[in-house]
């Protein structure tokens, strides 16, 4: 296979709105070195905040409208994607999460040289049918990209993917956007003494009722504390009801998903990620980059972000509201400790996990598999 530079790459996702996967797709597509790669993006639902980011960066977007694999729409979408691949001479198709069920087989039938899947969350969050479809579609992939060592273990031990087909590339943060800049807080938090908060899609696995329960335990510790939850999703109404039940409604602030994430992170003193399932959280990484003191449940790749020595973040046993409350009490009463954690976290994010480093890592993986495919055909079994 003789390659010319730059190499056209098609990166695929289900959606381009809020969420960690959507954020990763946009950041990598925008961050790739244009002298080496020409990024294109495909999506089933091409709308939302990441769609606007990509358009502003001049990244071509291919709409692949698909509501069901078992419909004529799927045939039409496959023909459309295949035509686009040939027209733009795509050399790599890189599918994120569930989009691989469609994109990897289409890429294979279109004779794309390199096919890469991504698994950025634990497979058991998906329904059984989606899991089966992903396992089938991964047979077409040359490699599976994961975002932390915890996910490498999950794919090797639980999903039985051969280790030499798994590539680790940590998420990156845009340090030009996410950095400490303390100033006046948003009006909703202007009178707060200490702000505890989180930023995420409001989904069940984020386990936000646990955060509310822990906050209720520490609220009497200091007057004027606030709990802010930034994000949208199906759990919102239940969280509002839970706040009323715990008698913390007056101290709770709910903000819909917003592109102004950095503004809210810079208003938070203590950022909490209480998830019962997590791979390598973009929100946690962005909070660290903004200098928040962070507390996370000891699951997945979170310890890889916070460390385990208490120098750039604290951990607690997943599901244990009392353990989370204990960590919050420590930070609420010790401002110096909060500041030290935030400074260490921000330095670590800037030096080790920038978006530039993630884009370079992704490019190196692309180059590796392009070079490998120019030799003997790898085993996709």
Residues 166 and 104 in one domain: yes
Tell me the C-alpha to C-alpha distance, in Å, between residue 115 and each of 118, 296, 333: 10, 34, 51
Confidence at residue 374, expressed as pLDDT on a 0 to 100 scale = 82
Confidence at residue 381, expressed as pLDDT on a 0 to 100 scale = 45
Say if 13 falls within a structural domain: yes
Q: Give, for 322, the enclosing helix (H) or strand (E).
A: helix 321-332
Residues 345 and 366 in one domain: no
**Rounded (10°) CA dihedral 195, 313, 203, 352:** 120
Say if 1 falls within a structural domain: no
Residues 38 and 163 in one domain: yes
Block mean pLDDT (10 aa), the chain, length 381: 79 87 91 96 91 94 88 91 97 93 96 96 89 93 97 96 97 94 91 97 96 98 96 96 98 95 97 96 96 98 96 97 98 96 97 95 97 66 45
What are the backbone dihedrals phi and psi of residue 62, each rounded to the nearest 5 degrees, phi first?
-100, 110
What are the backbone dihedrals phi and psi of residue 297, each rounded to the nearest 5 degrees, phi first?
-70, 145
Residues 299 and 362 in one domain: no
Residues 368 and 334 in one domain: no
Residues 329 and 367 in one domain: no
Q: Which pTM does this prediction carry? A: 0.88
- Residue 214: left if φ>0, alpha if ψ -120 to 50, beta else—which one? alpha
Say if 126 falls within a structural domain: yes
- Residue-range definition of the domain harbouring residue 128: 7-172+355-373
Residues 363 and 341 in one domain: no
Say if 217 falls within a structural domain: yes
In terms of Cα–Cα distance, which of 37, 140, 31, 47 is closest to 88?
37
Say if 76 falls within a structural domain: yes
Query: Is the N-terminal amide bond of 81 cis, ω within 30° of 0?
Result: no
* Cα dihedral across residues 111, 112, 114, 117: positive or negative: negative
Based on the structure, what is the number of domains in the chain? Answer: 2
Residues 141 and 230 in one domain: no
CATH of the domain at 60: 3.40.50.2000
Residues 122 and 42 in one domain: yes
Residues 152 and 203 in one domain: no
Residues 214 and 343 in one domain: yes
What is the C-alpha separation between 325 and 380, in angstroms, rounded? Answer: 47
Q: Strand order in 37-45's β-sheet?
A: 61-63, 37-45, 7-15, 92-96, 114-118, 143-146, 166-168
Residues 62 and 146 in one domain: yes
HSE (CB half, 13 Å, CA atoms) of 337? 15
């Amino acid at each position: 296979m003789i390659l010319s530079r730059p190499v056209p790459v098609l990166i695929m996702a289900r959606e381009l709105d809020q969420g960690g996967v959507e954020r990763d797709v946009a950041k990598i597509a925008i961050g790739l070195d244009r002298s080496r790669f020409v990024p294109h993006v495909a999506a089933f639902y091409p709308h939302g905040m990441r769609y606007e980011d990509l358009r502003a960066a001049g990244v071509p977007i291919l709409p692949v409208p698909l509501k069901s694999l078992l419909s004529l729409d799927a045939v039409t979408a496959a023909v459309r994607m295949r035509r686009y691949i040939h027209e733009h001479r795509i050399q790599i198709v890189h599918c994120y999460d569930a989009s691989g069920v469609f994109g990897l087989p289409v890429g294979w039938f279109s004779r794309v040289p390199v096919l890469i899947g991504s698994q950025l969350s634990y497979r058991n969050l998906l329904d059984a049918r989606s899991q089966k479809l992903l396992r089938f579609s991964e047979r077409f992939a040359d490699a599976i990209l994961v975002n932390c060592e915890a996910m490498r273990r999950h794919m090797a031990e639980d999903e039985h993917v051969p280790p030499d087909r798994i590539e680790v590339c940590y998420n990156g943060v845009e340090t030009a956007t996410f950095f400490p800049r303390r100033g006046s807080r948003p009006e909703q938090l202007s009178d707060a003494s200490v702000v505890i908060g989180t930023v995420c899609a409001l989904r069940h696995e984020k386990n936000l009722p646990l955060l509310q329960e822990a906050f209720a335990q520490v609220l009497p510790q200091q007057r004027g504390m606030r709990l802010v939850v930034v994000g949208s999703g199906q759990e919102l109404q239940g969280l509002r009801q839970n706040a009323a039940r715990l008698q913390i409604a007056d101290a709770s602030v709910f903000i819909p998903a917003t592109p102004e994430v950095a503004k809210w992170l810079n208003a938070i003193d203590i950022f909490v990620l209480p998830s019962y399932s997590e791979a390598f959280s973009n929100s946690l990484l962005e909070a660290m980059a903004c200098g928040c003191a962070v507390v996370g449940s000891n699951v997945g790749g979170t310890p890889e972000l916070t460390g385990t020595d208490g120098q750039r973040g604290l951990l607690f046993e997943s599901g244990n509201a009392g353990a989370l409350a204990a960590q919050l009490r420590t930070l609420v009463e010790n401002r110096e400790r909060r500041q030290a954690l935030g400074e260490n976290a921000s330095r670590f994010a800037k030096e080790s996990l920038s978006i530039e480093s993630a884009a370079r890592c992704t490019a190196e993986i692309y180059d590796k598999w392009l070079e490998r495919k120019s030799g003997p055909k790898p085993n996709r079994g």
